[in-house]
Structure 1
């Protein structure tokens, strides 16, 4: 049942084929996280005024502002990455384990430029995620998805900076590496994000 006294949103970050096992930037545990998010939505979709799902949506045939490694160079996996989540290609699709029937808004980001946070994305109508949440009078934001140490981190930090009460859902995110994920969780907690112990 939706608690209208504290309008809450769920942001599902980048649960895409290229970010789960077998993808060009596959994260271990990604498919399991997709299944768990689907189960969470099956049980709790009614708790949310908005369920927004973000996707990387990069251009084909260019470096997307230096986000993809240049031809003939190796990616550094810090600021340059292998080609991933190209518009219209299978890698950009939601992972099949993610049930999207409860998603109310689809957000795309990184069109020709680096973008990590879902707050850098727009809906099909061109509306920013921040505007969408404010229009719905959302005060509380839950965050889930991939990857803990990159796009989930950036999204949760942006949500906190925008003044929302933010909760990272335990067990519903997967990171690229243990050390950077642990550092991201500490950074989120220091920023006021509720992070499960």
Structure 2
């Protein structure tokens, strides 16, 4: 896996993860439902996610019901190509043709229907079985500058096989995530033979765990080099990407404080990077105190809350964690709700931060923030994120 570096553009291709191919469906693949959680787990780690969808007219010629005297599993000739006859399945606009309800679909950039011409089937996500009519998938991937296609889906010995072989023929480096596929095995050994055919054509097989472990290790990869450095930040390069890395901290915490009087505690300070004052929630770095590199996040929350506002909290709860600006930095921020506040100090920050503290009634916060913006101040995005998380 180490030859898929940051210069490659990867696409996860979800093949026919549809209701009719899952247990209880018209053409159920044994244990086909086991593929869905694997597909969901993989999606966040690819540049692009696309899907194919069997989408047949009700009178499609691959259906055994359209051939008197023929049965499911019989093989006939259709447009000069051998055709297995199937039960009616994935009929256009019926429930069976829909993508699986448990499949995370928000990240799917585009779905490519196939098998829409009643006269010929289309196992491949790229072409019909005659190889003449394109679904548009290949051109789409090329337009997105995709170099590597990773395939999961149903079924290994039919649509996955055909899709992988066409992907190789079109010049994409192609990977079969083997545990992310299940097969029909109409004849015993069909799946094993299909995988061997794919490997002989240059398709590489890996497991989902190999891919996920590789992505986890990527953040520690030696190819991520430091190209500039300062006292607090480094400019890093990974392939064609550049991003900032904070040198002296393990995490960032933002505290959303609520007083016993139902007031939000905002802070205000001048920020050099934007050249103006900014409304924020108290925040700071974990492990940036000299001699305390192993500081726990909760300890940092309590320390920063006291330093910047003078409050101590009776209750602290983690609300969520997310990247700040993934195109700019590898930094991740964790947001905490602090309640039951007692004042034990003046606050105001350390090392010349000159922080002002504002107690704003909960039901007046939106109007107060709008007013401060109209006065020319900046409101940090973490304020809106913190308020939203606290209100859930």
- TM bin, normalised by shorter chain, reads 0.7 to 0.9
1:67 corresponds, among 47, 62, 67, to 62
Distance 1:96 1:175 in 2: 20
The answer (yes or no) to whether the contact 1:31–1:97 under 8 Å persists in 2 is no
1:58 alignment counterpart? 56
Residue 9 of structure 1 aligns to a residue whose secondary structure is strand
Question: Within the alignment, does 1:142 sit opposite 2:139 as a pair?
Answer: no
Structure 2 equivalent of residue 100 of structure 1 = 105
Moved over 6 A (4+): none
Q: Which one of 179, 189, 192 corresponds to residue 199 of structure 2?
A: 189
Contact (CA 8 Å) 2:14, 2:50: kept in 1 or not? yes
Q: What is the TM-score with the length of structure 1 in the denominator?
A: 0.87
Gaps of 5+ in 1: none
Corresponding residue SS for 1:24:
coil
Report the Cα distance in structure 2 between the residues aligned to 1:75 and 1:139, rounded to whole angstroms: 38
**1:119 alignment partner, one of 121, 126, 130:** 126
3-state SS, counterpart of residue 190 of structure 2: helix
Residue 50 of structure 2 aligns to a residue whose secondary structure is strand
User: Are 2:154 and 1:152 equivalent residues in the alignment?
Assistant: no
Indicate the residue corresponding to 1:164 in structure 2. Answer: 172
Partner of residue 367, structure 2: none
2:139 is aligned to: 131
Q: Which runs of 5+ in 2 are unaligned?
A: 76-83, 129-133, 208-392
Structure 1 Cα separation of the partners of residues 165 and 191 of structure 2: 14
1:180 aligns with 2:190: yes
Cα distance in 2 between the residues matched to 1:96 and 1:39: 15
- TM-score calculated relative to the size of structure 2: 0.45
**Matches of 1:134 and 1:39, distance apart in 2:** 25
Provide the residue aligned with 2:21 in structure 1: 19
Write out per-residue CA displacement over residues 63-96 of structure 1, whole angstroms, 9 at most, x where no aligned residue.
x2x2111254312255211100000101001112
Note if contact 1:168-1:196 (Cα within 8 Å) is conserved in structure 2.
Answer: yes
Normalized per residue, which structure has more helix? 1
Q: CA deviation at 1:130?
A: 0.6
Give the Cα–Cα distance (whole angstroms) in 2 for the partners of residues 147 and 71 of structure 1.
24
Distance apart, 1:97 and its partner CA: 2.1
Contact persistence 1:37–1:172 (CA under 8 A): yes
Match of 1:154, SS state, is helix
